[in-house]
C-alpha cells in the first residue's frame, strides 16, 4: 500500500479527475481523505491510499496525477514537492517579468508573487513562492544565476 | 610564559590590556604571562624582564609609536625582534591583508623558524595559504592557533576541533561579519535604505572608513575559507568562494521577507564541498537570526546533530579573549 498526499484546487470535479487515472492503471483505491478544513491558498490537501503492485505502475499513476493538475506533496510520508521562497531585487518588471516566471515555471511553479516598485528609476523588490520537486532545486539555482547575469537581478534564496 | 606582541593597533592593545587585567588570575592558575616585546611599524619596546603594559598602551596612545617607550624603546623591525628576542609565543595581530597576507605571513613563518609558537587573529595569511602554514608549524614542531581569526570572541574553531572532537562536521553556516549584520538589522527595524544604514554604522564606528571588504562579503569569505580548512580539512583559498554582498538589499526586500516570516542575512556556508557567501532568507524563528553586531555559527554534525554558537564577533577585548584562550592552551600543552 502506498500513501500519496496531494493538493487539489478547490473546484467541483477535481477529486474525480485524479481518481480516474488510478483505476485506469489497475490500482485499487483503499481510502481517500479529503481535508477541506485545512484548505490553504485555495488548495485542499487530499490523502489517497492505493494498492499498487509494481513501481512502473506507480510512476505512471503519479505522472497522470500531475497531468490532471494535482500537486504531489508526499509519497509514503516523504516530501516530494518543496516550497522555496525567493526575494528578487532589480528591475524585475522592466526585464520582462512574464519571461522570468515562464522560465521558472519550466522547472517549478511560481505560486505567488508580491511586488513593490518604490519608484520607476529605483530597483523593485519582489517575493516569490516557488513550488518545486526537491531534486530539481539545483537546476532552479542554476537558472537563477543565468537570470542574474542576463537581467541584472539578484535572487535571495531561503535557507532550508 | 614569555610573549612577543607583533602589531600594536586596537587588537594588540586589547591583548596587552587583558594580560594586564588578568595578571593575578594567570599567575595563580598557570604562571606569569610576561610580555617581553611589543612591536609596531615604528619599532619596538623590548624588556626581557617584562614590559609595563599600562605604560606601553599609554605611550602608543599618546605618541602613536611604541618606539617612544622610555629607555626600552628603539627603532627595530618586527622580524628582527622575532629573531632576536627570547620568547615562547608570538602574538601576531597586524592588520589583515586579504591580497598578499603580508606582513603577517612572514612574521608567522619567521616565528616558526625561531621555534616560537604563534597565536594570530590575522585572516590574511590563513585565507591565502593555510596548508603551507600548518605544514611549516609541524616541521618546526611548534603550535599554531588562530581562534580569534573567525568570529572574534565566539568560540568556533576550538569548539569544533576540541569540544566536538569525534564528530564529523557535515556543514557550517553562519553570520560571521558584525558590520553587515548591524546594517541589515538597522534597515529591517527602521526601514532605512542601505546607504543611510551604512553611514550610521560608520558614524558609530561599527563600520570602518573603508567598509568594502565587509559589505562585499570578502571578510566573510576569508573566514569561511579558514573554517573549511581548519575544521573540515579542506584545502581552499579565498578564490574558491562564490561571493555576493549586501549592497543591493532594499528596505522593500526586507519588508516582503518579513511578511512571509523571514529576515535577510549575509550567510557564509560550507556545504557539500562548496563555499558560498550570499544574502539569504532566514526564518525569523531560526537560531541564525541574531541581531545587531552579533555573530552566529551553526554546525551540522553526525553525532551531536545541530550545534549553534552565538557571540561577539569583533572588538579588541572580545578578540583578546580568544587570543588569551589560545595562549593558555599553548601553556597547558607545553609547560605541564
What CATH number did the domain enclosing B68 receive?
3.40.50.720
B193 with B106, same domain: the answer is: no
Find chain B residues with C-beta within 8 A of A116's C-beta: 252, 255-256
Integer-rounded Cα Rg, in Å, for chain B is 20
B7 and B127 share one domain: yes
Task: Kindly state the average pLDDT of the residues A59-74.
Answer: 86
CATH 3.30.70.260 domain extents, chain A:
2-79
Same domain membership, residue B187 and residue B117: no
Rounded to the nearest angstrom, the minimum Cα separation between B256 and chain A is 6
Q: What are phi and psi of B296, to 5 degrees?
A: -150, 145
The answer, for A154 touching chain B at a CB cutoff of 8 Å, is yes
Domain boundaries, position B199:
161-312
Residues of A in contact with B286 (CB under 8 A): 159
Helix ranges (H only) for chain B are 10-21, 23-29, 53-63, 78-84, 104-113, 123-139, 157-158, 178-190, 194-203, 212-215, 218-230, 251-259, 316-335
Q: Higher pLDDT residue, B300 or A9?
A: B300
Q: Using the predicted structure, report yes or no on whether residue A41 has a pLDDT greater than 90.
A: no
Centre a 10 Å sphere on the Cβ of residue B97 and count the other Cβ atoms it contains. 17
Number of domains making up chain B: 2
pLDDT of B120-160, one tens digit each? 999 999 999 999 999 999 999 999 999 999 998 899 999 99
A-B Cβ pairs (cutoff 8 Å, strict): 62
Q: Is A41 on the interface with B (CB under 8 A)?
A: no
Residue B250 sits in a domain of what CATH number? 3.30.360.10
Question: Which of B248, B272, B285 is best to mutate for the A interface (most A CBs within 10 A)?
Answer: B248
Whether residues B188 and B290 fall in one domain: yes
Is B223 an annotated catalytic residue? yes
Residues B172 and B281 grouped into a single domain: yes
Specify the pLDDT at position B336.
Answer: 62
What ipTM describes this predicted complex?
0.87
Q: Give span(s): CATH 3.30.70.2690, chain A.
A: 81-157
Compute the distance between CA of residue B258 and CA of residue B256 in angstroms, rounded to an integer.
5
Of the pLDDT bands very low, low, confident and very high (cuts 50, 70, 90), residue A66 is: confident
Catalytic residue, chosen from B223, B239, B242, B259, is B223
Residue B213 sits in the same domain as residue B306: yes
Order of strands across the sheet that contains A154-157: A109-116, A124-133, A81-90, A154-157
A122 against B109, higher pLDDT: B109
The CATH number assigned to the domain with range A2-79 reads 3.30.70.260
- In this complex, is the C-beta atom of A126 within 8 Å of any C-beta atom belonging to chain B? yes
Minimal C-alpha gap between A139 and chain B (Å): 16
Which residues of B are documented as binding site for L-homoserine? 208
Q: Which residues of B are annotated as part of the binding site for NADPH?
A: 123
Q: Which of A118, A129, A159 sits opposite B252 (nearest CB)?
A: A118
Domain co-membership, B137 together with B247: no
Q: pLDDT digit of tens for each residue in chain B (336 aa)?
A: 999 999 999 999 999 999 999 999 999 999 999 999 999 999 999 999 999 999 999 999 999 999 999 999 999 999 999 999 999 999 999 999 999 999 999 999 999 999 999 999 999 999 999 999 999 999 999 999 999 999 988 999 999 999 999 999 999 999 999 999 999 999 999 999 999 999 999 999 898 888 999 999 999 999 999 999 999 999 999 999 999 999 999 999 999 999 999 999 999 999 999 999 999 999 999 999 999 999 999 999 999 999 999 999 888 999 999 999 999 999 999 986
* Nearest-neighbour CA in chain A from B287: distance (Å): 12
Residue B143 shares a structural domain with residue B26:
yes
Kindly state whether residues B282 and B139 are assigned to the same domain: no
Angle B41-B43-B47 (CA atoms, 0-180°, nearest 5)?
135
Considering only CB atoms, A125 lies closest to which of B253, B279, B286, namely B253
Do residue B196 and residue B144 come from a single domain?
Answer: no
| A157 interaction partners in chain B (CB closer than 8 Å) | 280-281
Give the nearest partner residue to A125 out of B252, B280, B282, using CB atoms.
Answer: B252
Are the Cβ atoms of B255 and A116 closer than 8 angstroms? yes
DSSP A151: H
The listed CATH number (3.40.50.10860, 3.30.70.2690, 3.10.129.10, 1.10.579.10) that belongs to domain A81-157: 3.30.70.2690
Query: What pTM does this model have?
Result: 0.84
Mean pLDDT over the full length of chain A: 89
Residue A121 pLDDT > 90: no
Task: Tell me the per-residue pLDDT of B61-113, one tens digit each, with 9 for 90 and over.
Answer: 999 999 999 999 999 999 999 999 999 999 999 999 999 999 999 999 999 99
Closest Cβ opposite residue A158 in set B244, B256, B280: B280
Which residues of chain A are within 8 Å of residue B248 when distances are taken between CB atoms?
89-90, 123, 154
Smallest CA–CA separation between B172 and chain A, in Å? 13
User: In terms of Cα–Cα distance, which of A123, A91, A97, A125 is closest to A110?
Assistant: A97
Cβ–Cβ below 8 Å for B260 and A123 = no
Amino acid at each position: 500500500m502506498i500513501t500519496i498526499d496531494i493538493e487539489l484546487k478547490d473546484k467541483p470535479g477535481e477529486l474525480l479527475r485524479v481518481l480516474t487515472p488510478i483505476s485506469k492503471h489497475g490500482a485499487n483505491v483503499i481510502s481517500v481523505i479529503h481535508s477541506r478544513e485545512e484548505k490553504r491558498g485555495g488548495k485542499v490537501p487530499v490523502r489517497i491510499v492505493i494498492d499498487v503492485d509494481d513501481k512502473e505502475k506507480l510512476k505512471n499513476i503519479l505522472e497522470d496525477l500531475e497531468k490532471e493538475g494535482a500537486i504531489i506533496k508526499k509519497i509514503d510520508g516523504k516530501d516530494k514537492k518543496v516550497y522555496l521562497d525567493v526575494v528578487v531585487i532589480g528591475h524585475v518588471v522592466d526585464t520582462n517579468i512574464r519571461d522570468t516566471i515562464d522560465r521558472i515555471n519550466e522547472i517549478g511553479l511560481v505560486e505567488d508573487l508580491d511586488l513593490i516598485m518604490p519608484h520607476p528609476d529605483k530597483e523593485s523588490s519582489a517575493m516569490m513562492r516557488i513550488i518545486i520537486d526537491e531534486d530539481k532545486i539545483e537546476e532552479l539555482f542554476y537558472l537563477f544565476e543565468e537570470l542574474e547575469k542576463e537581467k541584472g537581478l539578484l535572487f535571495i534564496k531561503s535557507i532550508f | 610564559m614569555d610573549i612577543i606582541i607583533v602589531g600594536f593597533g586596537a587588537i594588540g592593545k586589547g591583548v596587552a590590556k587583558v594580560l594586564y587585567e588578568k595578571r593575578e588570575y594567570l599567575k595563580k592558575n598557570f604562571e606569569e604571562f610576561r610580555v617581553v616585546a611589543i612591536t609596531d611599524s615604528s619599532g619596538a619596546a623590548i624588556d626581557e624582564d617584562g614590559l609595563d603594559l599600562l605604560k606601553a598602551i599609554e605611550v602608543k596612545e599618546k605618541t602613536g609609536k611604541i618606539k617612544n617607550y622610555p629607555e626600552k624603546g628603539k627603532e627595530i623591525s618586527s622580524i628582527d625582534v622575532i629573531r632576536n628576542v627570547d620568547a615562547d609565543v608570538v602574538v601576531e595581530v597586524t592588520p589583515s591583508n586579504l591580497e598578499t597576507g603580508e606582513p603577517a605571513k612572514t612574521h608567522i613563518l619567521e616565528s616558526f623558524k625561531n621555534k616560537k609558537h604563534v597565536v594570530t587573529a590575522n585572516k590574511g595569511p590563513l585565507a591565502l595559504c593555510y596548508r603551507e602554514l600548518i605544514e611549516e608549524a609541524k616541521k618546526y614542531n611548534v603550535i599554531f592557533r588562530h581562534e580569534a581569526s573567525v568570529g572574534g570572541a565566539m568560540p568556533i574553531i576550538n569548539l569544533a576541533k576540541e569540544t566536538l572532537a569525534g564528530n564529523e562536521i557535515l556543514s557550517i553556516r553562519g553570520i560571521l561579519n558584525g558590520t553587515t549584520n548591524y546594517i541589515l538589522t538597522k534597515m529591517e527595524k527602521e526601514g532605512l535604505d542601505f546607504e543611510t544604514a551604512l553611514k550610521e554604522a560608520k558614524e558609530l564606528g561599527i563600520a570602518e572608513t573603508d567598509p568594502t571588504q565587509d559589505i562585499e562579503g570578502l571578510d566573510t569569505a576569508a573566514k569561511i575559507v579558514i573554517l573549511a580548512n581548519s575544521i573540515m580539512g579542506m584545502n581552499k583559498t579565498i578564490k574558491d568562494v562564490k561571493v555576493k554582498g549586501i549592497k543591493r538589499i532594499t528596505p522593500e526586500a526586507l519588508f516582503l521577507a518579513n511578511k512571509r516570516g523571514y529576515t535577510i542575512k549575509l550567510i557564509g556556508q560550507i556545504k557539500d564541498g562548496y563555499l558560498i557567501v550570499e544574502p539569504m532568507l532566514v526564518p525569523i524563528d531560526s537560531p541564525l537570526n541574531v541581531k545587531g553586531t552579533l555573530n552566529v555559527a551553526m554546525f551540522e554534525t553526525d553525532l551531536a546533530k545541530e550545534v549553534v554558537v552565538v557571540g561577539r564577533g569583533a572588538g579588541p577585548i572580545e578578540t583578546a579573549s580568544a587570543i588569551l584562550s589560545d595562549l593558555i592552551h599553548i601553556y597547558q600543552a607545553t609547560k605541564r
